[in-house]
Chain A
Amino acid sequence: MNISLRVNGRPVEAVVEPRLLLVHFLRERLRLTGTHIGCDTSQCGACTVHLDGRAVKSCTVLAVQADGCDITTIEGLAAEGELHPLQAAFQEQHALQCGFCTPGMIMASLELLGRAIVPDDREIRAALEGNRCRCTGYQNIVAAVRTACERS
C-alpha cells in the first residue's frame, strides 16, 4: 500500500505491507532508531511517538494508519543540535541511566509541558503510567519533568 505522511517535518512517501507496524516503519525503513521496542504487549512505552500532536505507542499503530499524519519522533525534538528543554532537564536531573526508555519517556511527558498549572509529583507519576523504566526508580524522571514544566 502507498502511504504519504510527514515525519519530523519532512514529507515521506512509501509502499508498505499492510501489516507493517509504525515502529518498524520508523526504525527499519526510515532508520529513525531513537524510537525503541521494549515489549510486545503495549506495556512499556519505549516506542512512544507523537502522531498529530498526541503521544501514541507506535508498536500498536500500523504504518498504514499513519497515512496522511504528522509524526514526531525523538529525533525531531532537538532543533539544530540544541537539546529541547525537556531533554536538557533529563540530563540535569540525571533522569536516564541506560537510556533505553528515555525517548519514550520524553515523548510521553512532552504533553505535560506548557500547561497553565504545573503538575505535582503525583500527577506526573500518574501521567507516566504507560512508560516503564527499569534503571532509575523514576524519581529523577519525575524531577526532570517537573523542572521542565516549571520552566515552560
Chain B
Amino acid sequence: MRRDAPPDLIGARVPRVEDPRLLAGRGAYVDDLQLPGMLQLDILRSPHAHARICELDVSMARALPGVVAVYTGRDLAQFLKPVPSAGGMQGFNAPPHHVLAVDRVRFVGEGVAAVLAQDRYIARDARELINVTYDVLPAVTDPGVALTPQAPVLHDDIGSNRAFELRIGNDTQAALAASERIISGRFINQRVIPGPMETRGAVAHFEPWEGRLTVWLSTQAPHLMKREFARYLDFPEHRLRVVAPDVGGAFGAKNNPYAEELLAAALSLKHGVPLKWIEERSEHMLATSHARAQAVEVHAGVRADGTVQALHYRLTADMGAYYHAITHIGPMMTAALMTGAYRIAHAATDIISVFTNATPTDPYRGFGRAEATYFIERTMDLIARELGLDVLEVRRRNLIRPEEFPCTTPTGHVHESGNFQLCLDRALERFDYEGTRREQARLRAAGRYLGIGIATHAWRAGFPSVPGGKGYVTSGWEKSTVSIDAAGKIRVVIGTSPHGQGVVTTTAQIVAQQFGLLPQDVRVIHGDTDAVAQGNGTMGSRSLVVGGSATLLAAQQVRAKAIRLAAHLLQIDPRQVVLESACFRDAGNSQRGIALTEVAAHAFAGPRDLPDGMEPCLEAAVLFEPANFTTCFGTHVCAVEVDVQTGAAAIRRYIAIDDAGRAINPTLVEGQIHGGLAQGIGQALMEGASYDSAGQPLAASLLDYATPKASDLPHFEVELTETPSTVNPLGARGIGEAGAIGAPPAVVNAVLDALAPLGVRHLDMPLTPQRVWRAIQEARA
C-alpha cells in the first residue's frame, strides 16, 4: 500500500510535464486548428502613417472566385462599435478606434479592408485586388514633436495630441530647491516590439443552432477576453467560450482584445460559419502592440555624499495612434515605481501622454517597471559620475534597508518586504567587484575598454484588485479548484493561462506536495472558459503569486477534509492523523493506516456514510485576492567590453541575483530569468522599432528588427535568493519579468562605464555598434 516517500516537491527541479507533447510536435496552436467549412480572414493594411482614404474600391476583390465577402471600415461601422480601449476608464479621452479605419488611417499597418475567402491563398489574391486611393497627410512619430503647435493632429475631436496628463507623487519643488545640488539628465526607453515567435491568431466558430460562439485565441487571458468579447459583441457571455490553446509566447502583447480578433468573432456570428485569422509576421510587426516608448527629463536633488533628497521626472509617454486596452497604465506604473530600490523622501512624476502616428503601445514583459528601473538606475550612475563617487557607494547609501519594510514610497507604492542588500552583496561577491575593477584598470592601460554595470531593481508583481475598478484588468484575484477522483488522483482547474511559464508543473508540485503524491498524479486544466468557470489570466508575474496561492489554499482545504474523513474511517481524532506518501496513518499506532485511494473512494458515498455535516467529494475551490503587490527585487552586474574600432559591445560576464521569494521549481525560475535577460539585452544592444520622418517603420520584419539570436547572447550566471513574500501564503514574489527589467540598465551602465575615459557621457538604447562608434568619434572630436 505504501510506496517510497516522494521527495519534497517544493523547491524541486521537477522536469516539466508540459514538454513531451510539445517536443513531439503534438502541440495545438491556434493555426493548427482546422474546422470543416472554415473560411480565411485577411486584412489589407495601410501603407501610410497618416492619410485620408479618398477611394476604396473592393469590387474586383469581391468578384474573385472563392471570395465570400469584402468589408471596408465604413461597412463595419454600420454594425460594429469601436474596439474597447483605455480600460473604459473615466476621464480618459479615448478617441474612437474603429475595427477598420473609417475615412482616415493613423499608422502604418492600420486595417483598411477585410477579405473573407475560402483559403488563405485566395484571400491574399483578393487583398491584392483592392484599390485604395489615399490623400497622404503629414505624420508625426516623435512624441516630443507631436506636442508642438505645428504638429499634425491625429484626432480632430481632441484637438491636440495630448492623450492625458497626470501627476503622481508628493511635493518635490521645495525639496529640490533645498537640495545641495541638482543633477539633471534625459533618458529614453525606446519603442520595442515584444515579438513572440507565434504571431496572433483566432478561430471563431458560431453554431447558430446552439446559439454558441467559440473563439480559439492566441491569448494570455481567455477569461478577460470572454468578458470583453461578450460586452463588445453584445453576445450572452454564458454562451461564449474562449479557448487559449497552446500559445507560442505572449510577453504582454496578447492580453489586448484586438480589432482583428473581435472582427473574426463578429463575422463568424454574421456569416454563421467558422473562420480563421492568422497574422503574418510582417503584419505582426505593425499591428500587434509595441511597447516602452517613454522618455524622462530627470532632476535629482542630492547631497555630496550621494544621498538622493528629491527626484522629479517629466515623463513623455508615446501611446501610439490609439489606446489599446491598458496603454495608459504603463506611464502610471513607471511613476509609481520611479524611486526603484531606494528610499527617497520627495519624488514625483508629471506624465504627459501623447498620440503619434505609430502602432499603439501596450504591455511588454516589465510593463512600466522596466522603464522605471532603467530611469532610476541610469540616474544613479549619473549621480555617481557627477559627484565623483563609486556607483556602488551611491546605491548602498540610498538602498531601502531590510528593517525599513513595509516601506511606502512618495508615489504611493508599498514595498511589502525585501532584502535588497542580500542580492547586491551576493552579486558583488560572485562578480568579484574589486578584482574586476583592478582588471578594468589593467586593460585600460593596455588600450582595452571594459565597463562594469550594476542595476539594483525593485518592482511589483501580482496586482491586487483595483478599488472601484470595473474596467479591463482591474480584478486581481485568481481562482483554483482542486478535486480528487475516486482513484485518488487529482484534477486542478486554474484561472491563469500559462503559455511557457511552466505553471502546469508548478501547480502539480504544489498540490502533489500536500498529499505526498507525485506531480504526474495531478492533472492541471486551464485556458478553456468552458472548463474553467472563472479566472483572469497570466500577466504581471501573477500566475504563481496569485494563482499558485489559490491552488495552495484549495489543496490545503481538500487535505483537511480528507484528514477528517480518514480520521472518521480510522475512528480516531483528526489531530491523530498523519498524512504521508498518500497514506493517512494513526500517529498513536503506526500499524494502522488508510490509503488516500480508499479515502477518496469513500468520499463519493452518501452523506450518511460521512462524518456529520460533511458533503460528499474531496473538492475545494478558492478564490485568492492578494493583500498587496509583492515586491520583486534583485541585482544584476555585468562586464562589457567595447571594441572602440567598431563600436561593438561584447558582454563578457552577466550575473543576475534575483529574489523569487519561495521558488517552487528553481529550474523554471531560472528559465524565466534567462528569457527575460535575452529580451532585456536585446533592448539594450539591438532592438528598436523606429520610424522615418514620414512615419514609415524602419523595422517591419525580422530582417530589420533584431531579436537576439543564440550567438548574440552570453552565458548567464543566475542565482536565486529566497526571501519569502509577506502578502501571499506561498511566499512567492513573481519572477517572470526580472530579466527584462534588470538587463537594460545593467548593460547600458556597463557600456558607458567602458567609454567614460573616452569622454562619452550619454547614449540612448539600442547601443548598436554604429551608435557607439559615432559617440566615440564625437567625443574625440
Contact = CB atoms under 8 A, between A and B. Distances in A.
B674 to A, nearest CB: 3
A94 B31 contact: no
A64 interface: no
A148 interface: no
Contact of B249 (A40, A75, A98, A131): A98
Contact of B198 (A38, A43, A126): A38
Interface string A90-121: 11101011111111001000000000000001
B23 A132 contact: no
A130 to B, nearest CB: 9
B713 interface: yes
Interface stretch (B13-21, B71-79, B324-332): B13-21
A35 B500 contact: no
B246 A98 contact: yes
A124 B715 CA distance: 13
Interface string B678-690: 1100000000000
Chain A: interface secondary structure?
loop
A140 B677 CA distance: 13
Interface string A42-62: 011010000000000000000
A128 interface: yes
Given A17-B121, A40-B280, A98 B668 contact: no
A103 B195 CA distance: 18
Contact of A34 (B24, B249, B502, B701): B24
A32 to B, nearest CB: 7
B198 to A, nearest CB: 5
B650 to A, nearest CB: 13
Nearest to B667: A94
Interface string B520-561: 000000000000000000000000000000000000000000
A128 B709 contact: yes
Given A106-B23, A137-B713, A138-B710, A98 B32 contact: no
A41 B281 contact: yes
Given A87-B23, A96-B22, A129-B711, A136 B281 contact: no
A126 B710 CA distance: 7
Nearest to B705: A43
A44 B677 contact: no
Contacts of A138: 674, 678, 708-710, 713
Contact of B15 (A32, A91, A99): A91
B675 A38 contact: no
A99 B34 contact: no
A20 B492 CA distance: 43
A41 B19 CA distance: 28
Contact of A75 (B20, B24, B703): B24
Given A46-B197, A74-B25, A92 B15 contact: yes
B281 to A, nearest CB: 4
A94 B671 contact: yes
A134 interface: yes
Interface in A76-99: 77-78, 83, 87, 90-92, 94, 96-99
Interface string B707-741: 11111010110000000000000000000000100
A134 B251 contact: yes
Nearest to A78: B24
Nearest to B25: A34
A35 B18 CA distance: 18
Contacts of B668: 94
The binding surface of chain B is classed by DSSP as loop
Contacts of A19: 121
B504 to A, nearest CB: 12
Contacts of B20: 83, 91
A140 B199 CA distance: 23
B66 interface: no
Given A121-B715, A126-B711, A137-B678, A91 B25 contact: no
A3 to B, nearest CB: 17
B499 A136 contact: no
B23 A102 contact: yes
A6 interface: no
B17 to A, nearest CB: 10
A10 interface: no
A53 B195 CA distance: 31
A129 B710 contact: yes
A99 B710 contact: no
B196 to A, nearest CB: 6
A27 B702 contact: no
A141 B671 CA distance: 11
Interface in B276-291: 280-282
Nearest to B21: A99
Contacts of A90: 19, 23
Given A38-B197, A98-B500, A139-B716, A91 B16 contact: yes
Contact of A136 (B34, B195, B247, B674): B674
Given A38-B197, A41-B281, A98-B246, A103 B25 contact: yes
Contacts of B198: 36, 38, 98, 100
A43 B702 contact: yes
Contacts of A131: 709-710
A125 B34 CA distance: 35
A135 interface: yes
Contact of B197 (A34, A44, A73, A125): A44
A34 B369 CA distance: 36
A133 interface: yes
A97 B501 contact: yes
A34 B486 CA distance: 35
B500 A32 contact: no
B2 interface: no
Nearest to A32: B25
A39 interface: yes
B29 interface: yes
B197 A135 contact: yes
A129 B711 CA distance: 7
A149 interface: no
A63 interface: no
A37 interface: yes
Contacts of B32: 27, 33
B703 A43 contact: yes
Contacts of B702: 39, 41, 43-44, 132
A33 B671 CA distance: 26
Nearest to A24: B120
A40 B674 CA distance: 27
B248 interface: yes
B197 A40 contact: no
Contacts of A28: 34
B28 interface: yes
A125 to B, nearest CB: 4
Contact of B18 (A74, A99, A139, A140): A99
Interface of B: 15-16, 18-20, 22-29, 31-32, 34, 120-121, 195-199, 246-249, 251, 280-282, 499-502, 667-668, 670-671, 674-679, 701-703, 707-711, 713, 715-716, 739
Interface of A: 17, 19-20, 24, 27-28, 31-41, 43-44, 46, 73-75, 77-78, 83, 87, 90-92, 94, 96-103, 106, 121-122, 124-126, 128-129, 131-142
Given A98-B499, A100-B249, 12 more contacts: A32-B25, A41-B282, A43-B703, A44-B281, A87-B24, A96-B19, A98-B246, A99-B19, A102-B22, A125-B710, A135-B675, A137-B674
Give 4 closest A-B pairs by Cβ, nearest first: A34-B25, A100-B248, A99-B22, A74-B25
21 contacts: A40-B280, A43-B703, A73-B25, A77-B25, A78-B24, A83-B24, A96-B19, A98-B198, A99-B19, A100-B27, A102-B22, A121-B715, A124-B710, A125-B711, A131-B710, A134-B196, A137-B674, A137-B739, A138-B674, A138-B678, A141-B710
